[in-house]
Structure 1
Amino acid sequence: MTASRSSIPAFATGPVAAIAAVVAAVLTALSGRYGFHRDELYFLVAGKHLAWGYTDQPPLTPLLTRISTAVFGSTPMGLRVVSTIAAALTVVVVALIAREFGGDRRAQIMAAGCAAISGFLLGVGHLASTATYDLLAWMVIALLALRLLRTGDGRWWIALGLATGIALENKYLVVLPLAALLIALLIVGPRDVLRSWWLLAGVVAAGLVAAPNLWWQISHDWPQLTVAGGISEDDGTENRIMFIPLQILQLSPFLVPIWVTGFLRMWRSPALRWSRAVALAYPLLCVVVLAVGGKSYYALPLLLVLTAAGCQPTLDWLAQGQRSVRRNLLVTGAVLTAVTSAIFTLPVLPASAVNFVIPINAEQGEQIGWPQLTSAAANAWQQIPAEQRDRATIFAVNYGQAGAIAKFGPAHGLPTPYSGHMSFADFATPRDTQTGPVLLIEQEPTPYYESRFGTCTPAGKVDNGKGVDNEEQGTLLTLCTGPAKPWSTLWPELRRYY
């Protein structure tokens, strides 16, 4: 074993921790600016129905949502405390990854800084989402994989397996980079790490941790595969077209030369020959994601690994030639990245100006207008005669609408909402005795649903009051005479997996 594989620099604990603290402070200060995201409203309800699995996800994110709101309050700020911590930890892990590549103190600080100003980390760190914890899990797994390859010590397979098992309890996407890494190891090596009983022990460890959710999926006929297939069929073409542009924009155009440098360094440097498989894993992963029509961010975390590898040669480049010019170029790029990342991923603009960023980051708009939707639903509900309301039902086409009414509806005297979307279909089912009117909440006229609820007439329309052109702006409120058949018979027809 060479010295380059057996030794690494000391960790820049203080500066890296300071950068992570700044990220946490910024996210905390802005966490309550707009409001809940549609997915967060869903997680709030899922957290009240804890299970080992859900139609569209494993159990970890709903569990963390419940913990965060129980400790810090059921507000956007309280909900996002755990995700803020996860984002700050991700910054630290990226710096540790730079250290694995032999990055000195300055390179580690730069890697932490690059992660901190990247649009992807700030965007997922602002919200409580599966992607938030998935990013941290990928970085931890990458760190452990690099430690395994650098040292050749097979015992790291155990830690890698445990981290993978935990990641699988949050999102199944982690199997994609792991599969890409294994294929890359078979192609370019070092293959000796695959000839170890520790690998089998790591697989067993991952399986044991992930077993509860895997069993839940098996016992429920793998609904998550149905969800994945629906997403690919619905958005696959658009995802493929936008894959490369979004890879660049969502992380930051400024970071492109750094992660390209990191890739070339890992591929060409004799001292980092042991890491070539990690470099090759990125293009292999991109091919897989493109083939299945997955979203661009499915491969994005590995770019942070490449960025970490590129920090040391970037600093070496700064020390050559026209130092002041190069330094000014780097500083200017970093400042522009921080500003643009904040504008496009954090709630820094007035809500009325969010339309400016929605074409790049639609998630900004999905945090606005939920109380207004609930108020509009309450007005429509009042159109039902009082003597019929105890048998009436609110049915929402998607889980964001249902989650909003579950959160804000009690203040308006609204009953429990129902939806057939994802696991909302399992949380609650209308009783067959609810034969009264149905308040149908639909983004646009949907004959499929309306035909199942008898005669339907318009009862209102949602206006978020900010002119934000998000998915729920203009949502229709439709009053129907009642279910066309008993709810128990109708319910399977109302399930929706994407």
Structure 2
Amino acid sequence: MRLVYAGVLDLRTDEAYYWTWSKESALAFLDHPPGVAWSIRFGTAIFGDTTLGVRFGGIVAMLVTQLLLADIVRRVTHDARAVIFAMLLPEAALYYGLLMAKVAPDTVMIPSAVAMLWALVRLNESGNPRWWLAAGLFAGLALLSKFTAIMLLPAVIAFVLVPDWRHRWLLSPYPWLAAVIAAIVFSPVLVWNAEHDWASFRFQFVRAVATHQLSFRTVGEFIGLQFGLVGFVLLPVVLSGVALTAWRGYRAREPVAILLSTAVLVPFLYFLWKSLTLRVGDTWPMFLWPAGFAATAINLVMLPRQGFPEWMVQSTFRWARVAVISGIAFVVAVFFYYVAAPWNFIGRTDPIGGEAGYERVAARAREQLQKTGATWIAASDYRTYAMLRWHFNGQVPVIQINERGRFQGFRDPGMNLIKDHPGLYVAREPDHRLPLWDLTTAKRQPLERVERVWRGVVMDTYALEKLTGWTPELSPPPDSPLFRWRVLAGDLGRDAVAS
């Protein structure tokens, strides 16, 4: 199902944006570290510049995650039922069972984060300190995909300090060597930021510390997203399993239970707190739930071993079965809705349809290029830029004229076809009336309006205009309005938009 989904559905705008990164040789990017670009480059090297090629890394990431979860549970429980549940629980969650096919920094980070937990489980099982080195490697790879991997640090600290072995590991060189290895693996991001005024860290810091008035709407959105992406039955099952695992772990100072439960609870409570004032992005918490799946599967067989009442054991297994069956049914239903159904039940707010239908915009842009003699395409938001670059795929230079801070280190898009040549401006209405145009010498001639349609519903309308008398500056100074970016309070679930 994930392979079909990956091959059939249109790319979403963020996926196309990350695909543009895969065509560059930059060490890192403003928005995120380079892991997602490397994943896409891996997939497109096999399947070409196709939707399956772009998303293939997510397919592999899901498989690797499941195998690691199964091995974690096997090593802790030595129980086949628990291993089966560890494999099935992710399949019953919409995000993992289907949407891991949608490539994002989170999908690339998840297997590395789980691999770090797996290495620490192997450390606990064997007592061999060299597993610290593997944990450091995987931690560095997780950070190389997304900065939020740092939220697993409290779980590692608790894993070291709470059990009785704290003195052994604090005096051992291996945990410190692991930290050094993680920093070395992460060094491409550090080098890029040192060369670009620490842009990524400043960009993410603004998002992390921004606070606004208390909003029950954003809290409701966060909780609702967790129910939708994890499972209406599965989410309470996982949270209860994590809570019992935390109680058992901290009470008995059991390292693996402490590790897994803390890896879930600390990030979850942080995002819940942030949701009181900000919109938490749909994918932001997704790295924490695989540890919850492992804790839940382990908890199923630990309850009878630790003498819990029979009614509680039976009820726990019953709810776990219901969560798996109902969750998989829901995933299958969503799959058929997007792959086979002809209807749009959600309207313009549909999360998939809201970013589909760009081929019509690209086709009309192609016609206007031929009619007007324009040799390049301009956009003023990264989503339109990314989708047009995806559809034209190098045939015509496509640039975003503003927010040039996003494109530091990018190669020349073809200035010989841009300088002193007419261009075609494509922008979503009413955003095409940006005041930044008053800062340029460009003359704009309206050409036509194009509707982006998905299953009979108009999602957006785009304005196409001819540009003359101006050559865009691809590397404006940092204080230029064409370079800067800022984060809007109401759109923190997405990347920054124009200053």
Shorter-chain TM-score bucket reads 0.7 to 0.9
Does structure 1 residue 415 correspond to structure 2 residue 396?
Answer: yes
Residue correspondence of structure 1 range 43-54 to structure 2 within 5 A: 43-54=18-29
Distance in 2 separating the partners of 1:272 and 1:488 = 55
Hey, what does 2:492 align to over in structure 1? Answer: none
Give, in angstroms, the shift of residue 416 of structure 1.
Answer: 0.6
Distance in 1 separating the partners of 2:164 and 2:314 = 40
Give, in angstroms, the shift of residue 344 of structure 1.
Answer: 4.2
Does structure 1 residue 99 correspond to structure 2 residue 80?
Answer: no
Change beyond 3 A, Cα 1:195–1:249: farther
1:116 counterpart (91, 103, 114): 91
8 A Cα contact 2:452 2:462, kept in partner: no
293-302 or 37-46: bigger deviation: 293-302
1:286 counterpart (253, 268, 271): 268
1:250 counterpart (226, 229, 236): 229
Superposed CA offset, 1:73-96 (max 9, x none):
221123322321111111111212
Hey, what does 2:356 align to over in structure 1? Answer: 368
8 A Cα contact 1:262 1:310, kept in partner: yes
8 A Cα contact 1:40 1:129, kept in partner: yes
Give, in angstroms, the shift of residue 301 of structure 1.
Answer: 2.8
1:341 counterpart (311, 327, 331): 331
Change beyond 3 A, Cα 1:232–1:476: farther
Hey, what does 1:85 align to over in structure 2? Answer: 60
Taking every aligned residue pair, what percent have the same amino acid on both sides? 19
1:197 counterpart (164, 173, 177): 173
Does structure 1 residue 146 correspond to structure 2 residue 136?
Answer: no
Give, in angstroms, the shift of residue 394 of structure 1.
Answer: 1.7
Distance in 2 separating the partners of 1:209 and 1:460 = 49
Give, in angstroms, the shift of residue 69 of structure 1.
Answer: 1.1
Change beyond 3 A, Cα 1:204–1:27: same
Does structure 1 residue 475 correspond to structure 2 residue 451?
Answer: no
Give, in angstroms, the shift of residue 114 of structure 1.
Answer: 0.5
135-144 or 323-332: bigger deviation: 323-332
8 A Cα contact 2:344 2:455, kept in partner: no
Does structure 1 residue 276 correspond to structure 2 residue 261?
Answer: no
Q: Partner letter of residue 227 of structure 2?
A: I
- Structure 1 residues not aligned, in runs of 5+: 1-25
Change beyond 3 A, Cα 1:75–1:176: same
Residue correspondence of structure 1 range 477-492 to structure 2 within 5 A: 477-483=464-470, 492=480
Change beyond 3 A, Cα 1:228–1:350: farther
Superposed CA offset, 1:342-368 (max 9, x none):
444787444753553985x72x23552
Give, in angstroms, the shift of residue 139 of structure 1.
Answer: 1.2
Hey, what does 1:306 align to over in structure 2? Answer: 292
Q: Secondary structure at the match of 2:10?
A: coil
Give, in angstroms, the shift of residue 43 of structure 1.
Answer: 2.8
Change beyond 3 A, Cα 1:36–1:456: same
Hey, what does 1:398 align to over in structure 2? Answer: 381
8 A Cα contact 1:68 1:81, kept in partner: yes
Does structure 1 residue 167 correspond to structure 2 residue 147?
Answer: no
Q: Secondary structure at the match of 1:464?
A: strand
Change beyond 3 A, Cα 1:444–1:194: farther
52-61 or 223-232: bigger deviation: 223-232
Does structure 1 residue 439 correspond to structure 2 residue 451?
Answer: no
8 A Cα contact 1:188 1:277, kept in partner: no
Q: Secondary structure at the match of 1:35?
A: coil
Q: TM-score, normalised by structure 2?
A: 0.79
Distance in 2 separating the partners of 1:465 and 1:452 = 33
Q: Secondary structure at the match of 1:300?
A: helix
Q: TM-score, normalised by structure 1?
A: 0.79
Q: Partner letter of residue 201 of structure 2?
A: L
Q: Partner letter of residue 102 of structure 1?
A: T
423-432 or 72-81: bigger deviation: 423-432
Q: Secondary structure at the match of 2:447?
A: strand
Distance in 2 separating the partners of 1:89 and 1:300 = 16
Q: Secondary structure at the match of 2:145?
A: coil
Q: Partner letter of residue 137 of structure 1?
A: S
Q: Secondary structure at the match of 2:77?
A: coil
1:216 counterpart (192, 197, 202): 192
Question: Number of paired residues?
Answer: 463
443-452 or 225-234: bigger deviation: 225-234
Change beyond 3 A, Cα 1:234–1:41: farther
8 A Cα contact 2:43 2:57, kept in partner: yes
Q: Partner letter of residue 406 of structure 1?
A: R
Give, in angstroms, the shift of residue 106 of structure 1.
Answer: 0.7
Hey, what does 1:16 align to over in structure 2? Answer: none
Q: Secondary structure at the match of 2:465?
A: strand
Give, in angstroms, the shift of residue 40 of structure 1.
Answer: 2.6
89-98 or 142-151: bigger deviation: 142-151
Hey, what does 2:15 align to over in structure 1? Answer: 40
Change beyond 3 A, Cα 1:423–1:485: closer
Residue correspondence of structure 1 range 51-62 to structure 2 within 5 A: 51-62=26-37
Q: Secondary structure at the match of 2:37?
A: helix
8 A Cα contact 1:119 1:252, kept in partner: yes
Hey, what does 1:207 align to over in structure 2? Answer: 183
41-50 or 233-242: bigger deviation: 233-242
Hey, what does 2:481 align to over in structure 1? Answer: 493
Does structure 1 residue 227 correspond to structure 2 residue 227?
Answer: no
Give, in angstroms, the shift of residue 133 of structure 1.
Answer: 1.2
Distance in 2 separating the partners of 1:30 and 1:268 = 39
Q: Specify which structure has the higher proportion of helix.
A: 1
Superposed CA offset, 1:203-259 (max 9, x none):
111112221221111111122124324555899877555323322321112213432
Q: Secondary structure at the match of 1:51?
A: coil
Q: Partner letter of residue 273 of structure 1?
A: E
199-208 or 486-495: bigger deviation: 486-495
Change beyond 3 A, Cα 1:157–1:485: closer
Q: Secondary structure at the match of 1:474?
A: strand
Q: Partner letter of residue 286 of structure 2?
A: L
